[in-house]
Amino acid sequence: MKTLITARFDKSYLNVLETITKDYEFAGYGVTGEKMPVPEMKEKIRGIELLISEFEDINQEVIEAADKLKIIVCCRNEAFASIDIEAATKKNIPVLRAGGRNAIAVAEHTIALLMAVSKNISLTDHLLKYTDQLTNVQYDDEGGKRAETMSEWSMDPTAPFALYGGGPEMYGKTFGQIGFGMIGKEVAKRAHALDMNVLVYDPYVSQEQMDYLGAKKVDLDTVMKESDFISVNCNVVPETVGLVSREKIALMKPTAYFVNTARAKVLDYDALYDALAEKKIAGAGLDVYPVEPIPAGNKFLSLRNVVLTPHLAGSARDIVGHQTNIVLADVKRILDGGKPRFICNPEVLA
C-alpha cells in the first residue's frame, strides 16, 4: 500500500507501520514544519493509496487528483479543519481522525489553569520576578525606596500572606463541567482524584456513563449556580455557540472560578470580562480567544484575576506518539475488515 505521510510521526511506531506497508515516504509538514502547497500535494498524491496528513490542505482539488487513494487520515481531532470530507465521501474514501490525541494534555492544562488562578501562582510569580512588591524593598510616603524586612507570614494588610494567600482548596469543592466527551472525561478523572464533587452538563451523555467517575448529570443552570470551579470542555456545534451567556455567568458564585480550554465561541467573553473586572466572580483561566493570537492591548491582559495561555492546552510532546498510535490502529482495523474508532464519514464503509 503506497503511503504518503505528511504528519508528524513517532518513529518508534515504524514497526507497526511496516505491518501495513513497507512502501512509505515522509514529506511536507512532518518533515519541514511547513505545509506542502496544494499544487505540490496534487502531484504528490498521484499513485498514493494511504495518506496520513495533519496540517496540509487536502481540499477538493487534491482529492480529485488522487487516482488510487483508499484511505485519508488526519492526525487531528477536527479533521474537517484541513480535509474536504464531502469530496472524500463522494469518492467513497474513508476519512479517519486522531480522536482524543490531546485529551490528557488539555485535561492537565485545565486543572493547571484552575490552580494557577485560584492560588495566585501566576500573579505572585510575576510580582516576585518583575516588581519589588513581594520583596523586602518597601516604599516611603514620598515614593522613595527603603529596605525593610517583613515576614511573608505577617498579618499586616500589605503583606503577601494577607494580599495573595487564602485561595480555596479544591478538596471537597464542587467542580462543574460543561461537556463530557473524551477531554471532558479526562478532566473529570482529575477533578475526582482531587476529591471534588463533579457535576456535568452534557445532554448527550447518560447518568450511567458518568457513574464510574462518581459524576452527577445536571442541567446547565445547576452547574453555573452550584460549582466552585467550572470548566468548558465541549465542541462547537450550533447548540453550543454562545452557550455560556451573560445570563449563565450571572448565576455563578462570587467565589467561583471559570476556565475555558475548549473554544471561544462557546462563551460570551464580554460578559466574562465584566464579571471579572467587577469582581462578581473570583477568577478565570483562559486558553482560547475570539481573535487569535490574542491582540496586544486586549482588555483581559489588564486583569489580575485571570491567567492566560496562548492556545497551547492541547500541545504536549507526547501528542505525536498518541496520534501515531491512534491512526495506525484505525487503519489496521479498516484493512482487517473491522470498524474504525474515529471515522468522519462512516457511511462509506456501510
Tell me the catalytic residues: 263, 292, 311
Q: How many Å apart are CA 229 and CA 25, to the nearest integer?
A: 47
Spatial distance between the Cα atoms of 49 and 78, rounded to a whole number of angstroms: 22
3-class state of residue 66 by DSSP: coil
CB count within 10 Å of CB 12 equals 11
CA–CA distance, 303 with 28 (Å, rounded to integer)? 41
Q: Whole-angstrom Cα distance, residue 244 to residue 86?
A: 31
Name residue, grid cell 490574542: 294
Q: Are β-strands 50-53 and 71-74 bridged in parallel, bridged antiparallel, or unpaired?
A: parallel
CA dihedral (279, 110, 225, 120) positive or negative: negative
**C-alpha dihedral, 286 to 290 to 294 to 298, nearest 10°:** -90
Rounded to 10 deg, the angle between the 121-130 and 103-118 helix axes is 70
Angle at 187 between CA 74 and CA 102, to 5 degrees: 20
Strand extents, DSSP E, 47-196? 50-53, 71-74, 95-97, 137-139, 145-147, 174-178
